[in-house]
Amino acid sequence: MKVGLQIKANLENVTNLRPEGDDFRWYMKFQCSNCQEISASFQYISLMETAELKGGRGSANMVSKCKLCSRENSVAIIPESLTPYNSEDSNKFTTVVKFDCRGMNPVEFSPRVGFACDAVDTSSKFEVDLTENEWVDYDEKNQESVGVYEFESKFITIK
């Protein structure tokens, strides 16, 4: 099943909010499709990390065995689906990445470090930490505050 992560935020004087680099870690909680068990802690997946699937069925960015039913499940990031969140998306849910999920689905996303964004009117670039679901800084070139506020996320099933 393909699942999309949608985010919504209020962007102040910034655009192009995106994960920075192939080593970006997407922290999520997962639910086993077989027994409905939800992981107790956040697990991360990254484009830089891959694991082989049993039986030579290819690879995924994360392969995990359910603690309750012992079923092997996997999730792969669809690299070409990565899309920045721009100023015109502000306050609207927009899909920023898609996952190919086999046997488990993400149920909660935890934004953390590793995001980046650009100033709307200058060439300023910023490193963004969304651990607190918001981020504030100051654009020296434009002499104005910049920020990401009211960060929300949800998962949708992609047909």
Query: What are 20-44's pLDDT values in tens digits?
Result: 999 999 999 999 999 999 999 999 9
Torsion angle defined by CA atoms of residues 83, 131, 151 and 148, in that order, rounded to the nearest 10 degrees: -80
Q: How far apart are CA 97 and CA 26, in angstroms?
A: 10
The candidate with the shortest Cα–Cα distance to 7, out of 139, 145, 109, is 109
Tokens of 145: 């505050």
Question: Which residue in the block uniquely carries the two structure tokens 């909680």?
Answer: 29
Query: What are 90-137's pLDDT values in tens digits?
Result: 999 999 999 999 999 999 999 999 999 999 998 999 999 999 999 999
Q: Is pTM, for the whole model, over 0.75?
A: yes
In the chain, count of helices (H) and strands (E)?
A: 0, 14
Model confidence at 57, in pLDDT bands (50, 70, 90)? confident
Residue 32: exposure state from Cβ atoms within 10 A (0-12, 13-18, ≥19) = buried
